[in-house]
């Protein structure tokens, strides 16, 4: 088993560097199977053990589905915004946050995931495991459990075997002869009825009990009131649970669930299988199948900022849901000679009270000038919202000053707002304390009045 470790948004040396660092030529051949392959071609039914977030590829306008995990040109390896863990055959590729240079557990990626998926930082911060990818799977569980149960408890028809005098269903002749000869007044028969206690809810129950056994399990399963209620629902719905039946239940769920009403259970089923089969996936893989869990850094960064700015007056439009945006033109039809779309705009964040529009950028933004498309997009948002201030918010490794530039025409200011990710924290607890200070500073900068800026 070989593990290659890189960071996001980086151009790496020739592959021979990794060979000298413990890799092999077979690792190169395995990496070629996933390099420069579009992510949407590797997910879903082709590789059911590969989880990619956001799950709706491309719905955020970032075209993650058309991107690739890594690029391998002339045997030079490079990475983009994708972070996480991916493996093929005997090669594991760990793509860490580029801010995880001085810690072994990738504090920044852990922290963003915990914030976005509402996992209690207070209970988790002392219990990071030595296997980050497994932590990532556990962080996701409450989110997908709540999303699935919002559609109701999964139920399906099941056959029940009976042997009594109250015949209500179809008589099972073979079983009746086997169990009731000589006749003792009982009849063997079967009934068919809806049941919440089925292989899908049993799979979720086994996952709950498995997580309970982990050091951070109790904190994850009780991260909020809704999660606790969902866990209780699953436990109450599965009275036939038995630890010894875990392998059987897993095998019953290997076929992906397809149900028009319980659509959210498909993702929950896949996640549960990933958690329960984590070791077998790693050490008993199908040849040339891709496995792992990946996160789009741009999506994760934007969602993380949404949590940080929550309660500060900033709206966070949802492009896919067509909610929270605003129109480019005052009247429907005025753009008929432009694109016939009555175009709506969806900035990452905007605050009408503070006259502020914010664009979240995860890529190496502060090291280079803003790109033309990014700049034109932000100015368009500012113009249509009559906002006097626009800002690019991006993570960086060291403290930098806020740079503010005035526009021609109507005026207004475009600001480059850096967010310093702690680099020298000696523990995860220290990292949390330091980054919370940075969050307070960011809210202060974005919520200043125009006179204070």
Three-state SS at 95? strand
pLDDT at residue 47, as a whole number: 76
DSSP letter at 185? S
The residues, ordered by sequence, that sit 6+ positions from 244 with a Cβ below 8 Å of its Cβ are none
pLDDT at residue 60, as a whole number: 38
Q: How many CB atoms lie within 10 A of CB 320?
A: 12
381 in Cβ contact with 343 (< 8 Å): no
C-alpha distance from residue 28 to each of 4, 14, 314 (Å): 10, 11, 46
List, for residues 300-349, the tens digit of each pLDDT value. 999 999 999 998 889 888 765 566 677 777 766 655 555 555 567 888 89
Direct distance between the N- and C-terminal alpha carbons of the chain, in angstroms, rounded to an integer: 54
pLDDT at residue 367, as a whole number: 58
Question: CA angle at residue 323 from 322 to 328, to 5 degrees?
Answer: 75
Q: Give percent helix, percent strand, percent coil of the chain, each to the nearest 5.
A: 35, 20, 40
Could you tell me which of 374, 376, 384, 327 has the C-alpha nearest to residue 352?
384
Residue with tokens 């408890």: 153
**pTM for the structure as a whole:** 0.81
Residue with tokens 């201030």: 389
C-alpha distance from residue 232 to each of 124, 145, 209 (Å): 21, 12, 12
Q: How many CB atoms lie within 10 A of CB 439?
A: 16
Three-state SS at 133? helix
pLDDT at residue 65, as a whole number: 67
Torsion on CA atoms 313, 319, 324, 328, rounded to nearest 10: 110
pLDDT at residue 435, as a whole number: 94
Strand order in the sheet with 76-79: 11-14, 76-79, 70-73
pLDDT at residue 55, as a whole number: 62
In DSSP notation, 250-289 reads HHHT-SPP--SSSTHHHHHHHHHHHHHTHHHHHHSPPTT-
162 in Cβ contact with 189 (< 8 Å): yes
pLDDT at residue 188, as a whole number: 80
70 in Cβ contact with 7 (< 8 Å): no
pLDDT digits (tens), the chain, 453 positions? 677 888 888 876 555 655 555 556 787 788 888 888 888 787 656 777 788 888 654 433 445 667 788 888 877 788 888 988 888 887 888 888 988 876 677 889 989 988 888 776 655 555 555 566 667 888 889 989 999 999 999 988 777 777 887 778 777 778 877 878 888 778 887 877 778 889 999 999 999 999 998 877 888 888 888 999 999 999 999 999 999 999 999 999 988 888 888 989 988 998 999 888 876 555 445 676 788 888 899 999 999 999 999 988 898 887 655 666 777 777 666 555 555 555 678 888 988 888 899 999 998 875 566 788 889 999 988 988 888 999 999 999 888 888 888 998 888 899 999 999 998 888 888 899 999 999 999 999 888 645 454
pLDDT at residue 161, as a whole number: 79
């Amino acid at each position: 088993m070989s593990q290659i470790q890189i960071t996001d948004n980086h151009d790496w040396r020739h592959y021979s560097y990794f060979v000298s660092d413990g890799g092999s030529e077979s690792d190169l051949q395995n990496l070629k199977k996933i390099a420069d392959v579009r992510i949407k071609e590797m997910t879903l039914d082709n590789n059911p053990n590969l989880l990619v977030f956001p799950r709706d590829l491309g719905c955020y306008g970032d075209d993650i589905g058309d991107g690739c995990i890594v690029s391998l040109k002339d045997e030079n390896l490079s990475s983009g915004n994708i972070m996480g863990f991916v493996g093929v055959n005997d090669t594991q590729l760990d793509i860490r946050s580029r801010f995880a240079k001085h810690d072994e557990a990738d504090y920044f990626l852990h922290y963003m995931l915990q914030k976005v998926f509402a996992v209690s930082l207070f209970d988790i911060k002392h219990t990071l495991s030595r296997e980050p990818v497994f932590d990532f799977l556990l962080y996701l569980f409450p989110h997908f459990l709540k999303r699935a149960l919002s559609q109701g408890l999964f139920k399906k028809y099941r056959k029940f075997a009976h042997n009594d005098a109250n015949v209500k269903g179809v008589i099972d002749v073979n079983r009746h002869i086997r169990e009731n000869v000589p006749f003792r007044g009982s009849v063997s028969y079967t009934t068919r009825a809806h049941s919440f206690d089925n292989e899908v809810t049993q799979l979720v129950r086994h996952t709950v009990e498995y997580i309970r056994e982990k050091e951070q399990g109790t904190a994850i399963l009780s991260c909020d009131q809704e999660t606790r209620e969902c866990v209780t629902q699953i436990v109450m719905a599965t009275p036939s649970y038995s630890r010894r039946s875990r392998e059987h239940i897993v095998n019953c769920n290997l076929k992906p669930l397809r149900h028009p009403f319980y659509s959210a259970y498909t993702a929950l089923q896949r996640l549960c299988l990933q958690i329960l089969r984590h070791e077998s996936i790693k050490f008993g893989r199908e040849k040339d199948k891709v496995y792992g869990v990946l996160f789009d850094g741009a999506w994760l960064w934007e969602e993380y900022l949404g949590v940080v700015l929550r309660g500060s007056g900033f709206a966070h439009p949802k492009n896919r849901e067509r909610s929270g945006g605003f129109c480019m033109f005052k009247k429907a039809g005025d753009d008929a000679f432009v694109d016939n779309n009555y175009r709506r705009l969806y900035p990452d964040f905007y605050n009408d009270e503070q006259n502020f529009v914010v664009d979240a950028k995860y890529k190496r933004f502060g090291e280079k000038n803003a790109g033309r498309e990014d700049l034109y997009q932000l100015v368009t948002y500012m113009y249509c919202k009559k906002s006097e201030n626009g800002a690019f918010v991006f993570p960086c490794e060291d403290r930098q000053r806020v740079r503010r530039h005035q526009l021609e025409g109507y005026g207004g200011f475009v600001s480059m707002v850096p967010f310093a990710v702690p680099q020298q924290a000696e523990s995860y607890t220290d990292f949390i304390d330091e980054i919370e200070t940075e969050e307070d500073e960011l809210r202060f900068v974005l919520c200043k009045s125009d006179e204070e800026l």
